[in-house]
Amino acid sequence: MRFRTESSPHMIPAHSVGGVMQQVLMALVPGTLAMAWFFGWGVLVNVVLAVLFAVAFEAAIVAARKRPVMPTLGDNSAIVTGWLFALAIPPLTPVWVTLIGIAFAIIVAKHLYGGLGYNPFNPAMVGYVVVLVSFPREMALWPAPDTLSEMSLGLGQTLQTVLTGSLPAAMDWDAITRATPLDAMREGLGAGRTVNELTTSPLFGTFSETSWEWIGNFFLLGGLYLLFRRIIHWHIPVAVILGVAIPAGFFWMLDPDSFASPAFHVFSGAVIIGAFFIATDPVSASTTPLGRILYGAGIGLLIFVIRTWGGYPDAVAFAVLLMNMVAPTLDHLTRPRIFGRERRGPPPGDGHG
Amino acid sequence: MNPTLTDIIRDGLWHNNPGLVQLLGLCPLLAISGTMVNAIGLGIATTLTLLLSNVLVSLIRDHARPEIRIPVYVLIIASIVTAIELAMNAWFHGLYLILGIFIPLIVTNCAIIGRAEAFASRNSVPRAALDGLMMGLGFTGVLIALGALREVLGQGTLMANAHLLFGDWGHGMTLQLYPSEHGFLLALLPPGAFMAMGLLIAAKNWIDSQFEAEPSPTGDETATATEASPDNA
């Protein structure tokens, strides 16, 4: 009897890059559908367009760098980048804004630094920050959740709006857009109103506006799935959420009239998706356990600080990019002790024995 | 050690360009290149300063004691810049107001004292003058390229406010390429300046590499990306 001999490797790692990214994409589905439920077709149109652009740019730049195209596309990372970017921008964003943002994300933030694994910054967030800083008007047009607005756009109208950048006749931006909870809180507090006045409006659910709360819940579901599949570790998401909630809670207890509650902060805007999907980017995040906690806590703290005293209503992208800069230093300072050595002992194999 | 006149011209405009190769004077280069008119204004002022300072430094090169040569150069440059600042205040007042602090700051442009020390103090007056002019034009060229790029991307115009520089007929020189509310605001902000500068340097290096038949002997790209991977167990 003959045994079939196989050459090594005999242990196939559970996670290939493409497989990991596939799991991330699956985990993004519930939150994305929830967003589409509340904000209409625009979310899905954006996701499709952004993913198409991302893959096209990835293929083009990889070909220009004279690297094999298909294996690179197979790691699915461009799809994740495009998808996350699409979730960050308002649902009716004109197509050229998406194009510019994705071009920056893929070409500048990713491939000018050497491609996947070499990029110091999260590409999707670089793309988002570029368009956020460059096109403040387009980036502020969040439509009212469908449950609130009298008229919602069908698929055809959404496509027309996204592709031409102008609404169908008989509609105007003022009628279909409204301030996000973070915008409303910022404006309201700036105008001297109290948190209590702002949150007693019927739009608010338990913690934040109902729609954003539910979107957060569904992204949380996807995030828990990633945790369960061990695609991500608990350190960063927990640290981000606590990093927002603890300082927010401290100031809220000092002065509940002028600082929103920690639950409002966690369930508004992009904290949940940021904590589970964006801050956990394996390339640009910190990699040691303690480093991850510090990295996540830094992101959370920066989110709270920029939201409360900074110039923008939400700050997940800025916080992630700022902490990306610190991640290599955190890794360096929090290297775990090597087994069998003192903490300050020389690393093995550097000639010191 | 004794470059020919052609070498001086080529160095100033391209091979040793103060903006793209020496990376000197980046502060005004990045801060003022928001529009093309600002770029031209500052470029002309810097070129004049370079030309005059090179001539004066070359004139006194046998008389200034080496121990105190740098303070002497600084005094000369500062006097020239003050004169230019007053002249701009008199004749280009609008532009003077826009450029503001960056005109007096030409004094601190390292390209100027760099050329004084490295070239003018060792060469005859005509050669020093040519070097100053060419370095200035090279710097102005980079400023204008950067200004044009940022202005087109950022506000969709070319030569906006040209009347500040050219008088009344400058009003007709402004080109509106696309409506300015779609401008790419990042290009006008400081990060956009750095990115555009990086792209220009990359473009210059690419052009150089196209013209080089054989690879240059100096390996200028040392591997910097050492990926520290602690988990190699």
Token pair for B48: 């004049």
| Shortest distance, CA B154 to any CA of chain A (angstroms) | 9
Task: Identify which of B181, B185, B225 has the shortest CB distance to residue A114.
Answer: B225
Q: Which class for B19: exposed (0-12), middle (13-18), buried (19 or more C-beta within 10 A)?
A: buried
Interface of B with A in 124-183 (CB under 8 A): 181-183
Buried b (16+ CB within 10 A) or exposed e, A137-172: ebbebbbbbbeebeebbeeebbbebbeeeebeeeee
| Shortest distance, CA B100 to any CA of chain A (angstroms) | 26
The answer to which of A11-15, A294-298, B156-160, B169-173 has the lowest mean pLDDT is A11-15
B209-to-A344, A349, B212 alpha-carbon distances in Å: 46, 39, 5
Predicted local confidence at residue A267, as pLDDT = 85
Put simply, the answer to whether A336 touches B230 (Cβ < 8 Å) is yes
Predicted ipTM of the assembly: 0.72
- pTM, two decimals, is 0.82
A264-to-A35, A198, A255, A299 alpha-carbon distances in Å: 18, 11, 15, 17
Put simply, the answer to whether A118 touches B227 (Cβ < 8 Å) is yes
Angle at A46 between CA A40 and CA A49, to 5 degrees: 145
**Regions of chain A short of the pLDDT cut 70:** 12-14, 146-152, 169-172, 174-175, 201-208, 343-353
The Cα A86–Cα A88 span in angstroms is: 5
User: Is the peptide bond between A289 and the residue preceding it cis, with omega within 30 degrees of 0?
Assistant: no
- CB of A160 within 8 Å of any CB in chain B? no
The Cα A189–Cα A259 span in angstroms is: 8
Q: By three-state DSSP, how is residue B88 classified? A: helix
- CB of B228 within 8 Å of any CB in chain A? yes
Put simply, the answer to whether A335 touches B185 (Cβ < 8 Å) is no
| Shortest distance, CA B163 to any CA of chain A (angstroms) | 28
CB neighbours (10 Å) of residue B84?
19
Angle at B20 between CA B134 and CA A99, to 5 degrees: 135
Put simply, the answer to whether B195 touches A108 (Cβ < 8 Å) is yes
- CB of B188 within 8 Å of any CB in chain A? no
Predicted local confidence at residue B232, as pLDDT = 37
Task: Identify which of A117, A133, A288 has the shortest CB distance to residue B185.
Answer: A133
For A199-236, give the DSSP string. HTSTTB-SSSBHHHHHHHHHHHHHHHHHHHTTSS-SHH
Angle at B95 between CA B93 and CA B100, to 5 degrees: 95
**B137 or A189, which is more confident:** B137
**Which residue in the block uniquely carries the two structure tokens 């004292």?**
B113
**B225 or A165, which is more confident:** A165
What mean pLDDT comes out for the span B33-44? 86
Q: By three-state DSSP, how is residue A177 classified? A: strand
Confidence of residue B220 (pLDDT cuts 50, 70, 90): very low
For B120-184, give the DSSP string. GGGS-HHHHHHHHHHHHHHHHHHHHHHHHHHHHHHHSEESTTTHHHH-GGGGGG-EE-S-GGG--
Cβ-contact B35, B147 below 8 angstroms: yes
Within 8 A of B227 by CB-CB distance, chain A residues are 117-118
| Shortest distance, CA B39 to any CA of chain A (angstroms) | 22
Token pair for B212: 């080089």
- Please report, rounded to a whole number, the percentage of residues in chain B having pLDDT higher than 70: 88
Angle at B177 between CA B172 and CA B180, to 5 degrees: 100
pLDDT single digits (tens) A71-99: 888 888 999 999 999 999 988 888 989 99
Strand partners, A209: A204
Ranked by mean pLDDT, the top range of A50-54, A70-74, B36-40, B203-207 is A50-54
